[in-house]
Amino acid sequence: MDKKYGVYICTGCGIGDALDAQALCGVAEEKGLPAKTHAFLCSKDGVELLKKDIAAGTNTLVIGACSRRVNYDTFSFEGCIVDRVNLREQVVWSHPRSEFPALTDEQKDDGVHFDRLQMLAEDYLKMGLARVEKVDLPQPFKVESLSRKILVIGGGMTGMSAALDAANAGYPVTIVEKEDVLGGHARQWRAQLPLGDPYDRLAPPLVDAKIKAVMSHPNIVVKTETVVARIAGEPGEFVVTLKKPGEKIEFDVPYPLPDEMKLDEKGNELDAEAQHKKYMEYNEGKTDILTFDPNGELFGAVILAAGWRPYEPDEGEFERFGFGKLPDVVSNVQFEEIAKKGKIVRPSDGREAKSVVFVQSPGGGDDADFAYAGAVTSLVSLKQAKYVRSDFPEAKAYVFYQHMRTPGLSENFYKRIQQDPGIFLSKGEVVSVSQNGGGLVVEADNTLLGEKIRVHADMVVLATGMVPVTKDDPVINLAYRQGPGFRDNALFDDYADSNFICFPYETQRTGIYAAGGIRRAMTVEESMEDAAGAALKAIQCLESVNRGVSVHPRSGDMTFPDFFFQRCVQCKRCTEECPFGALDDDERGTPKPNPTRCRRCGTCMGACPERIIGFADYNIDSIGSMVKAVGVPSEDDYEEPPLRILGLVCENDAYPALDMVGLNRQSYSAEVRFIPVRCLGSVNVIWIKDALSQGMDGVFLLGCKHGDDYQCHFVKGSELADTRMRKIGEALSSLALEEERVAQFQVAIDDYDKLPKIINDFVEVIEGLGPNPFKGF
């Protein structure tokens, strides 16, 4: 676009009192750009001024006023590039004149004194001017053939529910189910846990009604005895190959080459083509991920509802309960199957089971429930105790638990069970189960019924957990270079869960949303709710793709990464580091972008050593030019020139925190220049090198916490930045620059009270090191 610039300085909110606004205008005018001031730019009158200029052709506005976090709508103009120079929160509010005094007339231009605050403001304005020169208005990315069809993997209660929810919103759905019938585990249930108010009684299973609704729905196609061989492509146009379970076909998903196979005999890494050759051998009989199945079916988004399987104990793991040896000791899943068939009878001899002990916790000195239990197994024990009682009026059921986990309104069901005089509920640890004549003897310690008790039982039921099927198999079989499954499931005990409390559907694979037992042990009620949420996210994803915008967390962002392939050196870093697996490289290592998998964090841009990746409004040059716009005074300018330090800050958390420092009128060093970045993962080391080579004295990054409980909205950004910073340290020492000149600090958004100290401490470290020896060159 043909840019016509306009620079506007607001003098309200103390800006005009602390700064020389005319001098700021001079900064723009020196570049030949028109600049205006206004005492209250966000007022109607101020906005009118802007609108008049826009009507007269101005389309690129640099507004020096408050933070972009506020007045976002006031200063948003269709078809215009707008840069908000944060003169209020980051300059005048966090650098009071009392601490950073203005110059007296005598001090001006004396070669000794300088006005730190005015310099700060002028630098920020220059940075804003530099940025708008280098950015463009984004054009949306459109896929060629958008499919609005949704694939649901798994035909259990969650999958069927998700399918119905999406179909009832007008979207065509295909369910694939590996068994020959729909229904999953629910088909084996005699009764269902409470589904709604008053949450105190069992309900007849919903499964048959669900199956009927699914089968008769005009928008739903059901494919039983079918699994996913591979999902290739990207949201909006996934190319899916389906197959019969157990079949081996050429479009089975290939697996990435294990790291140890990427090396030659000497332990050196093989080149891309040699690796590709090995990878094809390793995946013999399968086509590469970049070859799309010509008969594949197009889908827009995927719901993963493949559910769970019963826990399988290790050899001897439940020995003290006689599990695996004593036929009348069963798991809760086995017990449910028995109950489904009719009155409860013992597996050993078919005799009626009139005394049943339910074991809630494996014990052994620990009060944890069985693995993968959630709150579900507590509820299931109560349900099954009720079966025993309703089958035989004289029967007794014992539930030994460490913690009865019936959270929320499911407490109502627990209370109702407590009223049954034939159900004994007690905290306690079951220490052994043994055969005694025709029955079992259960020994329990520390119960509410006595310190050590023995119960004669016909059966013992272990409340074992629900293992997500993703523990055994990737299930989604993504034809992605990073591999076929969700990444980092180990963090979630192999569930396909999200790390985010606020955004529970966000995973590292765009367009694929997990629901139900595959992501946490859930009751049917919870699973059905979760299914509705996953269906919404799937619909939202494909509608976002249709509009050419990003999904969470940069929802609505129209930019996407653009690659200048002529200069690609096939280093594969972008492909490997993208938290969302958005890139697939070919046999030579050239990345193939899949823009609708992308979340626009810019991690690829940060990773690229050739700096060939960028976004319309955020790229190597735009940030690099901001860095270069910072004035670095040397001894030629002042006797004792001030330090210049660059701070690259995560715009999601650290930048708002900095605004809070200003809002609270806390102050920090005026030698630091901040640049917000989409994510620390997008920080390219060239910016740091540029800063240091132009004489800046130090650089620091402010971003989110990493580790298992990472707070990075792009999962890996702050962690990757940390790794890169450690590597840059080595590069610095080779330049005879101290490693301490570059640092990264982890801050949470509510750490604003700590920020001034973090900043000032870093400045102090740099002061200790002295000025950058490259200054003035």
Chain residues 463-502 in contact with other proteins, contact rule CB under 8 A: 492-493, 495, 497, 499-502
Q: State which of positions 291-350 bind other proteins (CB under 8 A).
A: none
- Minimum Å distance from CB 23 to other proteins? 23
Minimum gap (Å) between residue 69 Cβ and other proteins: 7
For position 706 contacting other proteins by CB under 8 A, the verdict is: no
- Residue 226 is classified by DSSP as -
Q: Please, what is the minimum distance in Å from the beta carbon of residue 282 to other proteins? A: 33
The verdict on 45 binding other proteins (CB under 8 A) reads no
Q: Are 403 and 410 in contact (CB under 8 A)?
A: no
Burial string for 73-89 (b: 16+ CB within 10 Å, else e) reads: ebbeeeebbbbbbbbbb
CB of 755 to other proteins, least distance (A): 11
- Which residues, in sequence order, are CB contacts of 551 under 8 Å at separation 6+? 510, 511, 540, 541, 544, 599
User: Contacting other proteins (CB under 8 A), which of 407, 438, 609, 773?
Assistant: 407
Which residues make Cβ contacts (< 8 Å) with residue 188, sequence separation at least 6?
333, 336, 337, 340
- The minimum distance between CB 566 and other proteins, in angstroms, equals 34
- Under rule CB under 8 A, residue 275 binds other proteins: no
Three-state SS sequence of 541-610: HHHHHHHCCCCCCCCCCCCCCEECHHHCCCCCHHHHHCCCCCEEECCCCCEEECHHHCCCCCHHHHHCCC
Contacts of 402 (CB under 8 A, 6+ apart): 360, 361, 363, 367, 368, 369, 427, 429
Q: Is the dihedral of CA 515, 517, 521, 524 positive or negative?
A: positive
Contact characters 531-570, other proteins, x per CB under 8 A: xxx-xxx-xx--xx--x---xxx-xxx-------------
Footprint on residues 232-271 left by other proteins (CB under 8 A): none
d(CA 85, CA 66): 7
Q: Is 146 helix (H, G, I), strand (E, B) or coil?
A: coil
Distance between CA 178 and CA 244 in Å, rounded? 8
| CB closer to other proteins out of 223 and 487 | 487
The CB-of-471 to other proteins minimum distance in angstroms stands at 12
Least Cβ distance, residue 211 to other proteins (angstroms):
18
Assess 446 for contact with other proteins (CB under 8 A): yes
Among 391, 530, 585, 671, binds other proteins (CB under 8 A): 530
Stretch near other proteins under the rule CB under 8 A, chosen from 240-248, 381-389, 601-609, 709-717: 709-717
Q: Which of 133, 225, 488, 529 binds other proteins (CB under 8 A)?
A: 529
Residue among 496, 766, 510 at smallest CA distance from 642: 766
Told to check if 40 binds other proteins by CB under 8 A, we report yes
Residue 306 CB, shortest distance to other proteins, in Å, is 18
Decide if 52 contacts 46 (C-beta within 8 A). Answer: no
**Per CB under 8 A, does 652 bind other proteins?**
yes
Q: How far apart are CA 122 and CA 615, in angstroms?
A: 26
653 in contact with other proteins (CB under 8 A): yes
Nearer to other proteins, 297 or 529 (CB): 529
Compute the C-alpha angle 123/560/745, nearest 5°.
50
How far apart (Å, rounded) are the C-alpha atoms in residues 121 and 603?
A: 30
Interface with other proteins: number of residues (CB under 8 A)? 93
Tell me the sheet residues that pair with 243: 227
The CB-of-39 to other proteins minimum distance in angstroms stands at 9
**Region 344-403 residues binding other proteins, contact defined as CB under 8 A:** 367-369, 371-375, 378, 401, 403
Which residue, 111 or 408, has its beta carbon nearer to other proteins? 408
Q: Least separation, in Å, of the C-beta of 550 and other proteins?
A: 10
End-to-end CA distance of the chain: 36
Q: Which two tokens stand for residue 117?
A: 């605050």
Give the nearer residue to other proteins in terms of CB position, either 521 or 620.
Answer: 521
Contact flag: residue 714 with other proteins (CB under 8 A): no
705 makes contact with other proteins (CB under 8 A): yes
- Characterize the bridge pairing of strands 613-614 and 562-563: antiparallel
Element (H or E) spanning 118, and its range?
helix 116-134
Nearer to other proteins, 615 or 687 (CB): 615
Candidates 24-32, 404-412, 616-624, 735-743; binding stretch for other proteins (CB under 8 A): 404-412
Residue 135 beta carbon to other proteins: minimum distance, rounded to whole angstroms: 17
Name residues contacting other proteins, limited to 732-761 (CB under 8 A).
748-753
Site stretch for other proteins (CB under 8 A), options 11-19, 231-239, 435-443, 635-643:
11-19
Nearer to other proteins (CB atom), residue 407 or residue 609: 407
Which window, 193-201, 288-296, 624-632, 763-771, contacts other proteins (CB under 8 A)?
193-201
Instruction: Produce one character per residue of 257-277: b if its CB has 16 or more CB atoms within 10 Å, e if not.
Output: beeeeeeeeeeeeeebeebbe
Indicate the SS3 state at residue 82: strand
Read off the amino acid at residue 253: V
> Nearest CA to 37 among 1, 5, 64, 17?
64
Of positions 38, 149, 405, 716, contacts other proteins by CB under 8 A: 405
> Which residues is 329 bridged to in the sheet?
460
Strand partners, 303: 152, 513
Q: Is 408 in the site for other proteins (CB under 8 A)?
A: yes
Min dist. Cβ of residue 342 to other proteins (A): 32
DSSP string, 447-512: ETTEEEEEEEESEEEE---EEEGGGT--SS-B--TT-SS-S-GGGGTT----S-SS-TT--SSTTE
> What string marks each residue from 657 to 696 as x (binds other proteins by CB under 8 A) or -?
---x--xx--------------------------------
In sequence order, the β-bridge partners of residue 677 are 650
Q: Nearest approach, Cβ of 698 to other proteins (angstroms)?
A: 27
Site string for other proteins, 50-69 (x = CB under 8 A): ----------------x--x
- Which C-beta is closer to other proteins: that of 42 or that of 229? 42
Q: Applying CB under 8 A, which of residues 131, 389, 396, 520 lies at the interface with other proteins?
A: 520
| C-beta of 227 vs 375, nearer to other proteins | 375
Q: Where are the alpha helices (DSSP H) in 216-330?
A: 272-282
Choices 145-153, 195-203, 432-440, 456-464 (CB under 8 A): range interacting with other proteins: 195-203
Query: Does residue 149 belong to the site contacting other proteins (CB under 8 A)?
Result: no
In Å, how far from its chain's centre is CA 5? 38
Angle, CA of 624, 629 and 632, to the nearest 5°: 115
- Cα(462)–Cα(442) distance, integer angstroms: 12
**Residue 209 found at the interface with other proteins (CB under 8 A):** no
The smaller minimum CB distance to other proteins, of residues 249 and 536, is found at 536
In the three-class reduction of DSSP (H, G, I as helix; E, B as strand; rest coil), residue 383 is classed as helix
454 versus 547: smaller Cβ distance to other proteins = 547
Q: Do the Cβ atoms of 559 and 138 come closer than 8 Å?
A: yes
Q: Which of 448, 473, 609, 635 binds other proteins (CB under 8 A)?
A: 448
Q: Which of 129, 399, 442, 521 binds other proteins (CB under 8 A)?
A: 521
Examine residue 194 and tell whether it contacts other proteins (CB under 8 A): no
Nearer to other proteins (CB atom), residue 301 or residue 479: 301
- Please list every residue from 424 through 443 that binds other proteins, using CB under 8 A: 427
Among 38, 131, 713, 724, binds other proteins (CB under 8 A): 713
